[in-house]
Structures are given as C-alpha cells and as structure tokens.
Amino acid sequence: MLPIITVFGREIGLYSLCAVIGLLVSGTLFGIRVKKVGLYVEDVVLLILCVVAGLVVGGSALYGLTHVNILIHLIASLPDYSLSQIWQVLQYCFGGSVYYGGLIGGTIAVFLYSRKKNGETKAFLRDQYAVCIPLFHCFGRIGCFLGGCCYGIPSSFGFIAHGNTLVPELNDVRRFPVALTEAAAELALFLLLFLLQKKGKLSGKLIWLYGFLYAIVRFFLEFLRGDAIRGIWLGLSTSQWISIALFIGCGLYFLLGHKAPVVQRDEGGSDGKQVKAPEDL
C-alpha cells in the first residue's frame, strides 16, 4: 500500500492522483469521441465540467447521507455549536465521496445537458458517458487500493500491508484485493461498452446496460469489502441496496424500453428517407 508519495517535499495522496489521472484519460476520450457528432470545443468543455460537478456534488451528498445520524444531532443541537464547530462537523460529514452518488450526479448532468439535442446526438452523448464512466472508475479503484480505503476481508489469498497510518486496521493481515478486482471488472465493462458503441449496437441504451451490469458486480463485491463503515441495513450494505434498485430499474428499462421512433433525417441534402433514430430517453 502506498497512500502518500512525496514529490519535491510535498505530500500527494495517490487516491486523489489516480482519480485525477482517470478524469483526464476518460475526459479526453469523451471529448475526442463526442466531437464526432459536431459539438464545438466549448460545448465539450462545458459538458465535461457539468459531469465533474455532478460527480462531486452527488458523491458528497450520498456520503453525507451515510452520516445522517450526526447531521440530525447537529440540527437538533445547533444552539450548542459555534460556527467553526458546525463547519467542522459538515466537513466531516460531506468530506468524502460515494461512487454511487457520483454516478447518479454525473448521469443527471449528462441527461440535463443533452435533453435538447436531437435524438442521434442525445443517444451518442449518453452512450459515450456510459463508456467513459467505468474507465474513470477503474483508475479510482486503483487509487482506493493504494490508499487502503477499500480494503478486503481477511483471506488466504491477497496482500499484506504494513505501516498504513491512515487505516491502521488494514495492517499486518492478509486481505483479498477487492479494490483491484473491481478495477479489473470496470476495465472489462469499459471494453465491452466501447466495442458495442463502435459497432453501433444498443444505441441510446448503454448507460442502462452499464447500470445493470455494474449493480451485479458491486452487489457481490460488497461481501468482500471488509471495511467497517458499510451502512448495514437488514444484513446488506447501503451500496447493496442501491445495487438492487439499480439492477431492477436499469434492467426493466433496458429490456422493456420503448422502440426507437421513426424520424426524418436531414444530413446535408439527404434524400429524406425515413430511418430509425436512437431512442429519445
């Protein structure tokens, strides 16, 4: 484990560094691909900024909900806290991020941004977002492994960390590499979705396919996480309940979604024949 490196006397968290690298790689791929549908550079930059804002706000909001008891206590005891103490509590409650929250926030941002685009452009933007999300998350999970924040259960197979001061309970126990396993699964999902989009398959539905498949992966990997803060409800973690809802919702939409409407395509003097356009989600 290597949670922090020192560069020119400055400490850098590898989790944050991996997340930034993942954002740059996936954002670059996103920008290159969506230019195919005629977006200007300014549009691409604005869209990426909207997605990043959705990721940050959504991830922090869901992280805050995992500390709902602290927030309720804070609201009930406001007169007893100074402004600095309130700020410290809020920083603690919203100072992290939950992937599912970021996924939901980023998805909402893409859907809102693309809602006024024509059917083909709208479908392409949402499909490309679906392709880039697992690529970004792959880097993020590598960062989790290096930082030790998503360590695995004790296992006869895996890794042993020593001297991790950020997560002391991780040390000196052989643990299953659950973060690297999820990174590999996300890379596989990226390759699958990338190939489907390149071949023009399931246009407009890739985000629903990703949600359906990732929910399965996340549900079972949660049993291998091992970290104590999982928000257990009726024997399942918060992320497992979200996975169940995502599995059902995305699965139903993907399987039972309406067929693509027939529209007129006019591309620089085309003959105006009727063609099926991607589904207007």
CB 151 within 8 A of CB 181: no
> How far is 148 from 170, CA to CA, in rounded Å?
7
Q: What is the pLDDT of residue 4?
A: 72
Q: What is the pLDDT of residue 45?
A: 84
CB 60 within 8 A of CB 102: no
> How far is 33 from 36, CA to CA, in rounded Å?
6
> How far is 193 from 200, CA to CA, in rounded Å?
10
CB 38 within 8 A of CB 121: yes
**Residues contacting 245, CB < 8 A, separation 6+:** none
> How far is 30 from 267, CA to CA, in rounded Å?
23
3-class SS letters over the chain: CCCEEEECCEEEEHHHHHHHHHHHHHHHHHHHHHHHHCCCHHHHHHHHHHHHHHHHHHHHHHHHHCCHHHHHHHHHCHHHCCHHHHHHHHHHHHCCCCHHHHHHHHHHHHHHHHCCCCHHHHHHHHHHHHHHHHHHHHHHHHHHHHHCCCCCCEEEEEEEECCCCCCHHHECCEECCHHHHHHHHHHHHHHHHHHHHHCCCCCCCHHHHHHHHHHHHHHHHHHHCCCCCCCCECCECHHHHHHHHHHHHHHHHHHHCCCCCEEECCCCCCCCCEEECCCCC
Q: What is the pLDDT of residue 110?
A: 92
> How far is 129 from 30, CA to CA, in rounded Å?
7
Q: What is the pLDDT of residue 278?
A: 41
Q: What is the pLDDT of residue 272?
A: 43
Distance of CA 75 to the CA centre of its chain: 30
Share of the chain above pLDDT 70, in %: 86
Tokens describing residue 206? 């890739």
Angle, vertex CA 146, rays to CA 142 and CA 150, nearest 5: 75
CB 107 within 8 A of CB 62: no
pLDDT in tens, the chain (281 residues): 666 767 777 777 788 889 899 999 998 998 888 877 777 778 888 888 888 899 899 988 888 887 788 888 888 888 888 888 888 888 888 887 888 899 999 999 999 988 888 888 888 999 999 999 999 999 999 988 887 777 888 888 888 877 777 677 777 888 899 999 999 999 999 999 999 999 989 988 999 999 999 999 999 999 888 766 666 667 788 889 999 999 999 988 877 765 544 434 444 444 444 444 444 33
Q: What is the pLDDT of residue 94?
A: 85
> How far is 212 from 193, CA to CA, in rounded Å?
12
> How far is 125 from 104, CA to CA, in rounded Å?
16
Q: What is the pLDDT of residue 3?
A: 65
pTM of the predicted model as reported, rounded to 2 decimal places: 0.81
Q: What is the pLDDT of residue 231?
A: 63
Crossing angle of helices 206-221 and 119-147, in 10° steps, is 20
